[in-house]
Structure 1
């Protein structure tokens, strides 16, 4: 039993999982393998903010043209809500590029980080989303890109093509991993 009066796996009266109240996640929490080969529990990012070099190609693209990376992230996070397959990516990347000229792109992109975190129940780490994007925009975009990639998305083909692959049974997600040895 936890100090808040709940048993492992039971949601406390606050409505927040035990892990958000300083309690460990129950052993049944979903896990998957990150690109770095480590087991990741639900709520954790698959890579840290400063692991940009885990994907050198994306790191270079993001450093020189962050609007491309942002457009790819936005396409997946928005679940292809645009009418045409790649217009969502191009439109959002263009908006990001225009906002980058004014210095407000980090405000636009932090909204998508928050949305991504909500979709995958990720921690707001290492600090609040707007500060992450304001202080280290390129690293934040690279981390979000790697996170979606580690969850099985082919970032270069857009939402519709990813859903088509999923329907055809082409699975690019690493299998779930148990949490240690059991008897």
Structure 2
């Protein structure tokens, strides 16, 4: 098993508020605080409503990167398995080149000031 997948899974299972805070900070392009979003998620999750906050960010992330909403709606994914959904989002951002522990601004500096904003173009079939 890939160490990255295991680490993301452990983080979202044992500290979902940290994982959500990092996801929110990246999706918000640095305009929100990781700690504030993570704390808000923790308070909502404490009363069983963390999925309300996290599903909104899943929708925003899909919109930013042109991802499809499947196999079911974002709210359903987060309602029935919030840790799995957070892990999937965390890994998606990592696969797009983000070091989730650094935050938005450090990632942009590391990437040479060009933020990944769109999904790569996929061409059906062979092209020249």
TM range (shorter): 0.7 to 0.9
State how far apart, in whole Å, the 2-side matches of 1:138 and 1:131 are: 13
Tell me the secondary structure at the aligned position of residue 71 of structure 2: coil
State how far apart, in whole Å, the 2-side matches of 1:91 and 1:65 are: 15
State how far apart, in whole Å, the 2-side matches of 1:177 and 1:122 are: 12
* Aligned with residue 137 of structure 1, among 59, 82, 86: 82
Does 1:74 find its partner at 2:19?
no
* Aligned with residue 59 of structure 1, among 9, 14, 37: 9
State how far apart, in whole Å, the 2-side matches of 1:94 and 1:77 are: 17
* Runs of 5+ consecutive residues of structure 2 not aligned to the other structure: 115-119
Does 1:164 find its partner at 2:85?
no
Q: What CA deviation, in whole Å up to 9, does each residue of 1:9-52 have, x standing for no partner? A: xxxxxxxxxxxxxxxxxxxxxxxxxxxxxxxxxxxxxxxxxxxx
* Aligned with residue 68 of structure 2, among 123, 137, 151: 123
Does 1:111 find its partner at 2:56?
yes
Report which of the two structures shows the higher radius of gyration computed on alpha carbons. 1
Q: 2:117: which partner in 1?
A: none
Q: TM-score, normalised by structure 1?
A: 0.61
Q: What CA deviation, in whole Å up to 9, does each residue of 1:137-180 have, x standing for no partner? A: 011001001111111111110001011112268xxxxx988766
Q: How many residues are matched?
A: 122
* Runs of 5+ consecutive residues of structure 1 not aligned to the other structure: 1-52, 83-87, 170-174
State how far apart, in whole Å, the 1-side matches of 2:92 and 2:31 are: 20
Q: 1:92: which partner in 2?
A: 37
Name the structure with the higher helix share.
Answer: 2
RMSD over aligned Cα atoms: 2.3
